[in-house]
Amino acid sequence: MKNRLRNGIALSLLPQILLVAWLGGNPEVVETYYSNGIYPVISQFFRILFGWVPFSVGEVMYVLLIVLGIRYLYVNRLKIRKFPFQFLRNVVVVLSVFYFTFNLVWGLNYYRQPIAENFAIRDSVQTSEVIDLAERLIVKTNQLQFELTSDSTKRVQVPYSRNEIFDKTVDGYKQLQKQLPFLKYSHRSLKKSMFSTLASYMGIGGYLNPFTNEAQVNALTPEFRFPVVSGHEVGHQVGYSKENETNFIGYLVTMKNEDHYFQYSASAYALSHCLSAIRRSDKEKFDELYAKVNVGVQENYRELYEHNLEFVNPFEPIFKSIFSTFLKANQQKDGIKSYGKIVELMVGYHEKYPL
C-alpha cells in the first residue's frame, strides 16, 4: 500500500469520528437509514454466509488476527524502532479501518432511537414501582418453579441441550415477531463460544461478533439462565446494541415462549434484576422479599452464584472496567451498570401489559 493511500486512510479517522458524533445527535436518521435500512441487509448477508458453519468463524478470525499481529511485531521489530512514526501511522490506519468497518456492519445501532419508543412505554421508575413488580414476579416465579418440580425446595433443571435451547429461542422470535415486527429474526447464526472457559473468567455470558454477525453464548452458563442469555444475544443480531435494551428483549422473547422452562428462566431473571435494584436502596425490604422466594428458586440463584465464584480471578475487574469504558464510549453512560437498567423497561412494559 502506497504511503499516500495510508496517510489518507489514517487522516480519515477524524472525519469518521465527527460523522459518528453527528449521527449520535440524530437518532431518527440512524433509525430510518441504518437500523431499518442498511443494517438488516448487512446482518442477514453475514448470517447466511456464516450461520451454517458449526463453529464460530469470527472467533477463528480473532485468533488469526492476534497471531498475525504478534508475528508482525516480531518480524518488524527493528524497523519499528528505526521508524517509530511510520509504525504509529500504520497503527492509526488499522484503527481507521476497524472503526469504519465496526460502525458500518453493526456499531451505528448504538445511536438508534430508544426501544421504549417502539413500545410507547416510559423508562423512568420509582423504587415503589420496582418493589411492586418484584412482588408480582415472586408469585409468578414461585408458581412456575413449583409447576416444573412439584417441590418448592427443588431447583429447576432445564432438560434441554444447549442446541435445543437455541432452536426454541429462534422459535420464540418467530412467534414474537407476529406481534412485534421490528424484532423479526431470520437466518439463524447462534453458536456456543469456543472460548467459554475464558469468557467465564472474564465474566461474559455471551457476545455478538459485529464483523460476522455470529451470536456466541457462553456454553458454561447454568442451564436455567441459558435461554434468556440466548435471547439477549439474538437481540443484538436484530439490531439493538445497548445492553439494557437487549436484556429486555432477551427477557421478553423468553417470557413469551410457549415452553414453561423458558418462562421460568425469564421470570427468575427479571426477579433477580428487581431484587438487586431493591437491595441497593433498601436492604431490609430486599430481605423481606427474598424470604418469600421459594427455596428452589433460591437454589437456582445459588447455582449461578457458585458458577460465578468458580471463575473469580484478579483480572476480572480489569476486563469489566475495559468493557465498561467501551460501553460508555458507545452511548451507554452507565457503562456496565447499564445491564441493570432493564428494570426501568420492565416496569414500563408491565405497567402497560400487566403480568
Domain boundary among 111, 135, 158: 111
Residue 46: pLDDT over 70: yes
pTM reported for the whole predicted model: 0.90
Give the H or E element holding residue 207.
strand 206-209
SS3 readout for 78-136: HHHHHCHHHHHHHHHHHHHHHHHHHHHHCHHHHHCCCHHHHHCCCCCCCHHHHHHHHHH
Residue 280 to residue 292: CA distance in whole angstroms = 18
pLDDT of residue 281: 86
Does residue 242 contact residue 108 with C-beta atoms inside 8 Å?
Answer: no
Alpha-carbon gap, residue 58 to 68, rounded angstroms: 15
- Could you read off the pLDDT of 261-308 as tens digits, one per residue? 999 999 999 999 999 999 988 999 999 999 999 999 999 999 999 998
Does residue 133 sit in the same domain as residue 10?
A: no
Helix axes 283-290, 260-281, angle to 10 degrees: 150
* 294 and 171, same domain (yes or no): yes
Q: Give mean pLDDT, residues 3-14.
A: 92
- State pLDDT tens for residues 296-350: 999 999 999 999 899 876 655 655 455 445 445 555 455 334 444 889 999 999 9
> 28 and 155: one domain?
no
Asked whether residue 159 falls in the same domain as residue 297, the answer is yes
Q: What is the mean pLDDT of residues 93-97?
A: 95
Are residues 301 and 154 part of one domain?
yes
Residues whose CB falls within 8 Å of the CB of residue 21, separated by 6 or more in sequence, listed in order: none
The radius of gyration computed from the CA coordinates of the chain, to the nearest angstrom, equals: 22
pLDDT (0 to 100) of residue 261? 98
Q: Are residues 197 and 311 both part of a single domain?
A: yes
Number of domains, the chain: 2
Both 103 and 167 in one domain: the answer is no
Phi then psi for residue 209, to 5 deg, are -80, 110
Q: Is the pLDDT of residue 245 over 90?
A: yes
CB half-sphere exposure, 229, CA atoms < 13 A: 20
Q: Do 29 and 142 have their domain in common?
A: no
| Structure confidence by residue, pLDDT tens digits, 26-39 | 999 999 999 999 99
Of 111, 139, 171, at which residue does a domain stop? 111
**Same-domain check for residues 209 and 259:** yes
Range of the domain at 88: 3-111
Three-state DSSP at 37 gives: helix
CA atoms within 13 A on the CB side of 123: 16
Relative to beta strand 190-192, strand 214-217 is parallel
Residues 195 and 307 in one domain: yes
Examine the fold and report which residue of 79, 111, 143 is the final residue of a domain before the chain moves on: 111
**Do 48 and 189 lie in a common domain?**
no
Do 189 and 324 reside in the same domain of the chain? yes
Whether pLDDT at 164 is above 90: yes
Question: Taking 80 as the threshold, does the pLDDT of residue 160 lie above it?
Answer: yes
* Mean pLDDT for all residues in the chain: 91
| pLDDT tens-place string over residues 174-194 | 999 999 999 999 999 999 999
Residues 6+ apart with CB under 8 A from 216: 56, 58, 59, 191, 192, 193, 199, 206, 207, 208, 209, 233
